[in-house]
């Protein structure tokens, strides 16, 4: 629907590497500011149109952003094209609203604390300009409706015997079908003076003295209401939720099971995958991520800690323990080490928009799989190969278990994922593309220069430093300055445009190309 | 008007509360919308109240739901059928909201109103409304429109009918699966109003589209339409058009589709007639009974009796019975359970000889099933077999099954079998009961689980009802009363409860001579809980026994309890005394 794509697609050969520019930041930290744990963003998701963006944080809040530019040229695109604006056409967002989605809880039966941290957010089908989304913490999924509501200001009207004649006014004004039926009938101010006390003495006047309350205000505000709570279905921590293309069901996955829900029914779900062995000592792998196919309602994929992706067909059986397809990379002989299994664990999978490809992220690489080819990935991208010698350190400080997310561009030509030191990488995955860009989630390049003075300065103000791989990776690789505490785990690609939203601790950065 | 007697103020409040902050108050006002309308009068309801409600479309879903429901019965309040059209605008708005239950209710109310509207009004107001919704920008409106065509269509002029059919066909191919699902759900209803020639052409092509939809969820609903459509078509058309589809569906890749077929198949048999049933549907059904997916077998097994009723007995014995035998030893307990819940109904269909020869072994094996639900399901339908072959052949196996269930370690199982004891008693007769089951009924009164003791007390009452006071006097009452000396106060409490239930059944004489002394005795119990329960029981006995007994026996006992050191005992005793006084006054 939006024609932004043609700009970037070059007519022949692999597409040119994109030139990424800083667009926006929300919740930017000032130097030395301490990050509050609850403010750290833990989930991010664009809706299907790309007009909205949602983030969830460890404090259980969900924040919504809406696109500001789209609405303008959505209304009068032709005018805009004619006037030939020189100003940026890239998407810009503004804060829309926020609400408290989850609260910390305590499971008394199991003596377990349940964190309020939002693990995943998924947008549902919009209807009537009301936005719908699912949010989940470790245990409970909630279905939210965010909608504009009129603020009610009511002129009090209660039957008044003396005003029996005056009702004609109300009748005539409300009769007209104009959008503002009640505002200025001149009666309401009088009526608002009538107090309850007037009426306690039952008037003999009778029925014509009754009239309806008048709403005067036309102001609206956004209200988020929790419509349904899907709880008590997961013994382990929920790691994924995903909507089905049929618009009526979704799945939720924890470490060992995947459940299927109907959006309308919150007290019942169906278990479709169960990896739990009779004896927990026989457990060899856990589910790390699960997603529905974007178009085929019967197909879903889930990844495991052993580095495999299974595609299952819901049509085959009610309990889909046997997979339809298995995607696994056979390990190169002789390369096995203590860490092999740990770093093979897949932290995130995403279907490409067309449903043909699946992108997976393990600790060291991004892999792109063709669902028609289960012998191995069609492409593998090394995300931070320079860390390989440091796996021991990363294991010591548990960083090796960090769960990085990945994303694909709407056109399926590029993929992106995060790394440490607030870096993220974008790779071209079109055939013969060699695009491999490293970016840092910041808008102020000077801040990092203190730590790594050898880096060339590019002080384009308010533009993020775009670092080409060749220039700087070496620097990162040999410096001890690598900061394992600042990791960029969550990021999302706009569904139709080249815009990446990514999360550095409590800040949300957006870059466009 | 009848309203004049009603005080005005409450109505004024009711009206104001239509816009109150508190949702409960708004709901309350909406629920009494008819009162408001009567107070305003018909004309002002039309000119003020209805437009006011139309504006109120951003309220909470609960309020909108109530509004949608109320408007469905609002025709009398706007001045009768000739003004029914004023109710359409608010309901049209409600047809577009996001919440499914509100839309469904609005559609239901629109159908109700449309069914009463005059033909020219339907053409002038209702049909344009359907068209607007069908062309709605949001899928919610289009979903709702599908459920209105069957009301709009019959009164439309010929040209408009063609248009409506075209619109419906469009809805069957909508981008949104929700709309296609709604179109599939409502196709049967719409088809019932369409003339035969169009049925065969237009409707069947829509049906074909839906049966080939990519989305499982749409095809599922198309299956449901099969039976409805089949009944509308001539048998030969049904055989030509519907039968191949259903046979195809019965082999669909998706188990959910096959599951739906298994649920629906028997309905279609009637539509296609006996010959195609034998040649096509029986084999399809047999395939479903042997499906790989347990869920499909569950659905198929649950329809075995209904299916057999349609077939002649030979066909059932020849084709279905072998499958039933297999299912009785199915690996899935849920399949066996589904089978057990219906298999008893096959006895009347197959007749006495076939039942004894073929079904009885299956009953017996299911009665020994390891899964209690299976056994329970068999026992719960005992009466159906009893009519055909009598109970004697079964009773040998029945007793061990009942005893085992009665002692099952899951209390829910014990609870379930208690529920069936009165049924069993009536089927098995007094003799059998006295010998075998009486002891069990007493044993349940001493169960560790409260729900079981509670159900057991109720059971004792129902048995007394079934076999009469004389029998109860002999076989129940002494045993029950014996247990009042149980050392554990909770069991003594159960007996008190049982006494209060038995008393009305046993009548005044037995109550006074047998039950009341035991209760009075219990008022000396050392446990306060027993004492205040005595007070409660005594209160319940007041209406049963003679006035003189109340004064002579019950009242003194209550007076004593009302001076008990325990506050709860005093409370209940005082309450009971109050009802004593009331009875005396009246």
Q: In terms of CA atoms, which chain A residue is nearest residue B89?
A: A177
A165 or B145, greater pLDDT: B145
Contacts A207 to B, Cβ<8 Å = 1, 3-4, 8, 39-41
**pLDDT level of residue A36 (50, 70, 90 thresholds):** confident
A206 in B contact zone (CB under 8 Å): yes
Residue B176: its chain A contacts at CB < 8 A? Answer: 125, 247
Residues of A in Cβ contact (< 8 Å) with B47 = 171, 174-175
Percent of chain B exceeding pLDDT 70 equals 99
On whether the CB atoms of residues B421 and B437 are closer than 8 A, the answer is yes
How many Cβ atoms sit within 10 Å of the Cβ of residue B373?
18
Answer yes or no: are the C-beta atoms of A4 and A496 closer than 8 Å. yes
What residues contact A106, with CB distance under 8 A and at least 6 apart? A112, A113, A114
Q: Is the pLDDT of residue B145 over 50?
A: yes
Residues of chain B neighbouring A159 (CB-CB closer than 8 A): 8-9, 11-12
- Helix (H) / strand (E) element for B456: namely helix B450-475
3-state helix, strand, coil in chain B (%, to 5): 80, 0, 20
Residue A365: the pLDDT is: 94
Give the pair of three-digit tokens for residue B254.
Answer: 């998706």
CB-based contact A199 B9, cutoff 8 Å? yes
State residue B111's pLDDT score: 96
Residues 6+ apart with CB under 8 A from A20: A426, A437, A439, A464, A466, A500, A511, A512, A513
Structure tokens at B566: 């325990």
Cβ neighbors of B303 (< 8 A, separation 6 or more) are: B262, B263, B265, B266, B342
The answer to whether the beta carbons of residues A384 and A419 sit under 8 Å apart is: yes
**Residue A422 corresponds to which tokens in the numbers above?**
């607030």
- What distance in Å separates residue A151's CA from the closest CA in chain B? 10
Helix or strand (DSSP H, E) at A22: strand A21-26
DSSP assignment of B248-293 equals HHTT-SSHHHHHHHHHHHHHHHHHH-HHHIIIIIHHHHHHHHT-SS
Task: Specify the CATH architecture of the domain B468-585.
Answer: Alpha Horseshoe (1.25)
> Smallest Cα–Cα separation from A159: which of A190, A214, A198?
A198
Grade residue A482 by pLDDT with cuts at 50, 70 and 90.
low
Instruction: Decide if A206 and B4 are in contact by the 8 Å CB cutoff.
Output: yes
Instruction: Please tell me if residue A271 touches chain B, with a CB cutoff of 8 Å.
Output: no
Q: Is A226 exposed, middle or buried (0-12, 13-18, 19+ CB in 10 A)?
A: middle
In sign, the C-alpha dihedral spanning B567, B570, B573, B579 is negative
Q: Which two tokens stand for residue A35?
A: 């990050």
Q: What is the pLDDT of residues B18-45, one digit of tens each?
A: 888 888 989 999 999 988 888 888 888 9
B293 neighbourhood in chain A, CB within 8 Å = 317-318
Q: By the CB < 8 Å criterion, does A299 face chain B? A: no
Range B175-184 average pLDDT: 94
pLDDT at A337: 83
> What is the rounded CA–CA span in Å between residue A236 and residue B120?
62
Quick one: pLDDT band at residue A191, thresholds 50, 70, 90?
very low
Contact B362, B317 (CB under 8 A): no
Rounded to an integer, the average pLDDT of B537-541 is 93
Arithmetic mean of pLDDT over chain A: 79
> Cα–Cα distance between B87 and B102 in angstroms, integer?
16
Instruction: Check if A202 contacts B (Cβ < 8 Å).
Output: yes
pLDDT, residue A470, reads: 34
Pairing of strands A120-123, A154-155: unpaired
Residues 6+ apart with CB under 8 A from A465: A439, A440, A442, A445, A448, A458
Q: Burial code of B295-319, b = ≥16 C-beta within 10 A, e = fewer? A: bbbbbbbbbbbebbebbeeebbbeb
Q: Rounded mean pLDDT of B496-514?
A: 92
Highest mean pLDDT out of A190-204, B37-51, B105-119: B105-119
**Nearest Cα residue to A209 out of A170, A253, A256:** A170
A247: region left, alpha or beta (phi > 0 left; psi from -120 to 50 alpha): left
CATH tag, A23-71+87-145+232-451+476-512: 2.130.10.10
Rounded-to-integer distance, Cα A103 and Cα A238, Å? 16
Which helix (H) or strand (E) segment holds residue B218: the answer is: helix B216-232
Smallest Cβ–Cβ distance between B255 and the set A159, A247, A315 belongs to A315
Give the mean pLDDT of A52-69: 93
The CA-atom distances, in angstroms, between A507 and each of A41, A47, A50, A489 are 7, 20, 20, 12
Judge contact between A252 and A241, C-beta under 8 A: yes
Closest approach of A305 to chain B, Cα-based (Å)? 29
How far apart CA B492 and CA B513 sit, in angstroms, is 20
Convert B530-557 to b/e letters by CB count within 10 Å (16 or more is b): bbbbbbbbbbebbebbeeebbeebbbeb
Per-residue pLDDT tens digits for B349-398: 888 888 888 888 898 889 888 898 898 898 888 778 877 877 777 777 78
CA distance linking residue B446 with residue B462, whole number of Å: 18
pLDDT average, residue stretch A273-285: 93
Map residue B459 onto helix, strand or coil.
helix
Domain edges within chain B: 227-292, 468-585
Return the pLDDT at B20: 82
Return mean pLDDT, chain B.
89
Q: Encode pLDDT of A74-118 as tens digits.
A: 444 455 455 554 455 788 999 999 999 999 999 888 898 999 999
Confidence of residue A194 (pLDDT cuts 50, 70, 90): very low
pLDDT tens-place string over residues B58-113: 788 899 999 999 999 999 999 999 999 999 999 999 999 989 999 999 999 999 99
Confidence band for A175, pLDDT divided at 50, 70 and 90: very low
Q: Positive or negative, the Cα torsion across A106, A109, A111, A114?
A: negative
B41 CB neighbours in chain A (<8 A) are 207-208
Give the residue, A195 or B21, on which the prediction is more confident.
B21
The alpha-carbon gap from B226 to the nearest alpha carbon of chain A, in Å, equals 21
Measured between beta carbons, which residues in chain B are less than 8 angstroms from residue A170?
A: 48
Residues of B with CB below 8 A from A175's CB?
A: 47-48, 51
Sorting pLDDT into bands at 50, 70 and 90, what band is A154? Answer: low
Residue-level pLDDT at A153: 67
| Closest C-alpha to B71, from B98, B92, B55 | B92
Higher pLDDT, A84 or B520: B520
B343: Cβ contacts below 8 Å, ≥ 6 apart: B304, B305, B324, B328, B359, B362, B363, B366, B378
pLDDT given at position A178: 36
Tokens of residue B584, six digits: 């005396």
| Nearest residue of B to residue A245, measured between CA atoms | B177
Query: Nearest residue of B to residue A313 by CA position?
Result: B254
Chain A residue numbers with beta carbons less than 8 Å from the beta carbon of B256 are 314-315
For residue B210, what pLDDT band results from cuts at 50, 70 and 90? very high
Of the listed ranges A260-269, A447-456, B143-152, B485-494, the one predicted with least confidence: A447-456
Dihedral angle, C-alpha B532, B534, B539, B544, nearest 10 °: 170
Do the beta carbons of residue A270 and residue A258 sit within 8 Å? no
Q: Which of residues 233-292 of B touch A (CB under 8 A)?
A: 252-257, 292
The answer for B 321-380 residues in CB contact with A (under 8 A) is: none
- Does pLDDT of A257 surpass 90? yes
Q: Sort B37 into a burial class: Cβ within 10 Å, 0-12 / 13-18 / 19+.
A: buried
Q: Which residue of A has its CA nearest to B8?
A: A202
Compute the C-alpha angle B274/B276/B279, nearest 5°: 110
**Which residue of chain A is at minimal alpha-carbon distance from B139?**
A127
B23 touches chain A (CB under 8 A): no
User: What is the average per-residue pLDDT within A347-358?
Assistant: 95
Angle between helices B450-475 and B489-506 (to 10 degrees): 50
The angle, 0 to 180 degrees and rounded to 10, between the axes of the packed helices B294-302 and B255-272 is 30
pLDDT at B398: 80
Write the CB contacts of A270 (distance below 8 Å, at least 6 apart in sequence): A259, A260, A261, A318
Which tokens in the block code for residue A282? Answer: 């026989």
DSSP class of residue B553?
A: I
Backbone angles phi, psi at A230, to 5 degrees: -105, 100
Please name which of A65, A230, A218 lies closest in space to residue A150, comparing C-alpha atoms: A218
Nearest-neighbour CA in chain A from B60: distance (Å)? 10
Q: In chain A, what residues touch B216 (CB-CB under 8 Å)?
A: 246, 297-298, 314-315
Chains A, B: CB pairs < 8 Å = 134
B9 touching A, CB under 8 A?
A: yes
- Please write down the long-range contacts of B48-51, taking CB distance under 8 Å and 24 or more positions apart: B48/A170, B48/A171, B48/A174, B48/A175, B48/A211, B48/A212, B49/A212, B50/B78, B50/B86, B50/B87, B50/B89, B50/B90, B51/A174, B51/A175, B51/A177, B51/A181, B51/B89
B41 touches chain A (CB under 8 A): yes
> What's the rounded mean pLDDT across residues B463-467?
90
Q: How far apart are CA A268 and CA A134, in angstroms?
A: 16
C-alpha distances in Å from residue A497, one per residue of A6, A437, B168, B406: 10, 18, 36, 68
Percent of chain A with pLDDT over 70: 74
Task: Find, among B244, B246, B225, the residue nearest to B180 by Cα.
Answer: B225
Residue A202 clears pLDDT 80, i.e. is over it: no
Q: Quick check: A222 and A147 in contact, CB under 8 A?
A: yes
Q: Does residue A203 belong to the interface with chain B, where contact is any CB pair within 8 Å?
A: yes
- pTM for the predicted model, two decimal places: 0.80
Question: Does A150 sit within 8 Å of B48, measured CB to CB?
Answer: no
ipTM comes to: 0.78
Buried b / exposed e along A192-204 (16+ C-beta atoms within 10 A): eebeeebbeeebe
**Which range among A4-18, A40-54, A456-470, B318-332 shows the weakest confidence by mean pLDDT?**
A456-470
Candidates B454, B44, B338; CA nearest to A206 is B44
Q: Which residues of B touch A205 (CB under 8 A)?
A: 8
Name the closest residue on chain A to residue B142, using Cα atoms. Answer: A127
Look at residue B7 in the predicted model and tell me its pLDDT: 59
The pLDDT value given to residue A457: 38
């Amino acid at each position: 629907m939006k024609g932004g794509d043609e700009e970037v697609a070059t007519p022949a050969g692999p597409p040119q590497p994109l030139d990424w520019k800083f667009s926006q930041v929300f919740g930017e930290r000032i130097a030395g500011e301490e990050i509050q744990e609850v403010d750290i963003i833990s989930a991010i998701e664009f809706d299907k149109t790309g007009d909205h963006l949602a983030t969830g944080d460890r404090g259980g809040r969900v924040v919504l952003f809406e696109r500001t530019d789209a609405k303008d040229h959505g209304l009068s695109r032709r005018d805009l094209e004619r006037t030939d604006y020189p100003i940026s056409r890239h998407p810009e967002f503004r804060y829309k609203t926020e609400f408290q989605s989850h609260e910390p809880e305590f499971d008394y039966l199991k003596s377990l604390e349940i964190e309020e941290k939002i693990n995943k957010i998924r947008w549902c089908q919009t209807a009537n300009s009301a936005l719908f989304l699912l949010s989940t913490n470790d245990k409970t999924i909630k279905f939210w409706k965010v909608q504009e509501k009129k603020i009610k200001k009511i002129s009090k009207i209660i039957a008044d015997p003396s005003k029996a004649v005056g009702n004609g006014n109300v009748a005539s004004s409300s009769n007209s079908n104009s959008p503002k039926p009640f505002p200025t009938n001149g009666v309401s101010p009088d009526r608002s003076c009538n107090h309850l006390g007037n009426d306690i003495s039952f008037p003999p006047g009778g029925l014509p003295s009754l009239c309806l309350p008048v709403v005067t205000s036309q102001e609206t505000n956004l209200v988020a209401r929790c419509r349904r709570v899907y709880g008590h279905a997961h013994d382990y921590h929920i790691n994924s939720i995903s909507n089905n293309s049929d618009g009526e069901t979704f799945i939720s996955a924890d470490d060992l099971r995947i459940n299927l829900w109907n959006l309308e029914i919150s007290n019942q779900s169906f278990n479709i995958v169960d990896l739990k062995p009779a004896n927990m000592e026989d457990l060899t792998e856990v589910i790390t991520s699960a997603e529905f196919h974007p178009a085929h309602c019967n197909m879903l994929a889930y990844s495991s800690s052993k580095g495999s992706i299974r595609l299952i067909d819901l049509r085959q059986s009610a309990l889909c323990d046997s997979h339809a397809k298995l995607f696994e990379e056979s390990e190169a002989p002789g390369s096995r080490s203590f860490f092999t299994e740990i770093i093979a664990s897949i932290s995130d999978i995403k279907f490409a928009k067309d449903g043909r490809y699946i992108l997976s992220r393990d600790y060291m690489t991004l892999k792109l799989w063709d669902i028609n080819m289960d012998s191995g990935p069609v492409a593998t991208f090394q995300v931070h190969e320079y860390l390989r010698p440091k796996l021991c350190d990363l294991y010591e400080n548990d960083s090796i278990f960090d769960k990085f997310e990945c994303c694909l561009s709407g056109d399926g030509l590029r993929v992106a994922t995060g790394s440490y030191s607030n870096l993220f990488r974008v790779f071209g995955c079109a055939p013969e593309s060699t695009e491999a860009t490293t970016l840092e989630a910041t808008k102020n390049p000077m801040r990092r220069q203190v730590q790594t003075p050898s880096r060339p300065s590019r002080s384009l103000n308010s533009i993020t430093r775009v670092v080409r791989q060749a220039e700087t990776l070496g620097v990162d690789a040999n410096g001890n300055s690598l900061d394992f505490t600042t990791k960029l785990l969550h990021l999302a690609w706009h569904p139709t445009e080249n815009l990446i939203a990514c999360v550095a601790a409590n800040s949300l950065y957006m870059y466009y190309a | 008007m009848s309203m004049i007697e009603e005080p005005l103020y409450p109505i004024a409040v009711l009206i104001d509360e239509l816009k109150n902050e508190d949702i409960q108050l708004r709901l309350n006002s909406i629920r009494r919308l008819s009162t408001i309308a009567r107070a305003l009068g018909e004309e002002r309801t039309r000119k003020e109240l209805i437009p006011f409600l139309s504006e109120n479309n951003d309220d909470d879903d609960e309020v909108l739901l109530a509004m949608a429901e109320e408007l469905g019965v609002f025709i009398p309040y706007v001045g009768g059928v000739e003004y029914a059209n004023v109710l359409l605008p608010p309901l049209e708005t409600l047809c577009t909201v996001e919440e499914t239950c509100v839309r469904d209710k609005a559609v239901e109310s629109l159908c109700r109103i449309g069914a009463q509207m005059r033909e020219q009004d339907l053409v002038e107001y209702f049909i344009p409304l359907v068209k607007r919704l069908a062309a709605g920008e949001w899928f919610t409106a289009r979903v709702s429109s599908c459920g209105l065509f069957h009301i709009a269509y019959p009164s439309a002029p010929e040209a408009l009918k063609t248009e409506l059919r075209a619109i419906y066909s469009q809805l069957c191919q909508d981008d949104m699966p929700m709309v296609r699902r709604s179109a599939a759900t409502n196709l049967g209803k719409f088809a019932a109003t369409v003339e035969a020639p169009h049925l065969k052409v237009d409707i069947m092509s829509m049906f074909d589209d839906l049966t080939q939809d990519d989305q499982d969820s749409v095809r599922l609903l198309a299956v449901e339409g099969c039976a409805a459509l089949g009944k509308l078509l001539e048998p030969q058309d049904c055989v030509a058009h519907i039968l191949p589809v259903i046979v195809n569906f019965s082999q669909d890749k998706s188990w959910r589709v096959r599951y739906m077929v298994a649920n629906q198949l028997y309905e279609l048999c009637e539509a296609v007639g006996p010959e195609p049933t034998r040649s096509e549907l029986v084999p399809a059904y047999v395939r479903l009974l042997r499906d790989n997916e347990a869920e499909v077998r569950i659905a198929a097994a649950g329809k075995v009796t209904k299916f057999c009723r349609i077939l002649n007995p030979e066909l059932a014995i020849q084709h279905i019975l072998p499958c039933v035998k297999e299912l009785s030893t199915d690996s899935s307990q849920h399949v066996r359970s589904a089978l057990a819940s219906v298999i008893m109904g096959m006895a009347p269909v197959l007749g006495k000889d076939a039942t004894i020869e073929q079904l009885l072994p299956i009953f017996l094996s299911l009665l020994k099933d390891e899964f209690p639900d299976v056994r329970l399901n068999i026992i719960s339908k005992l009466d159906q077999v009893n009519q055909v072959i009598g109970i004697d052949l079964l009773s040998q196996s029945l007793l061990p099954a009942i005893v085992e269930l009665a002692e099952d370690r899951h209390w829910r199982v014990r609870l379930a079998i208690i529920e069936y004891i009165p049924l069993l008693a009536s089927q098995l007769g007094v003799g059998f009961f006295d010998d075998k089951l009486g002891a069990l009924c007493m044993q349940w009164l001493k169960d560790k689980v409260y729900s079981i003791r509670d159900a057991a007390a109720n059971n004792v009452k129902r048995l007394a009802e079934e076999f009469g006071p004389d029998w109860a006097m002999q076989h129940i009452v002494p045993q029950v009363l014996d247990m009042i000396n149980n050392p554990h106060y909770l069991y003594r409490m159960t007996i008190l409860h049982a006494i209060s239930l038995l008393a009305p059944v046993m009548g005044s004489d037995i109550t006074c001579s047998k039950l009341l002394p035991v209760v009075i005795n219990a008022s000396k119990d050392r446990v306060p809980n027993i004492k205040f329960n005595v007070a409660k029981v005594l209160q319940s006995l007041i209406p049963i026994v003679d006035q003189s007994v109340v004064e002579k026996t019950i009242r003194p006992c209550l007076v004593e309890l009302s001076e008990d050191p325990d506050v709860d005992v005093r409370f209940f005793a005082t309450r009971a005394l109050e009802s004593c006084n009331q009875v005396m006054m009246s």
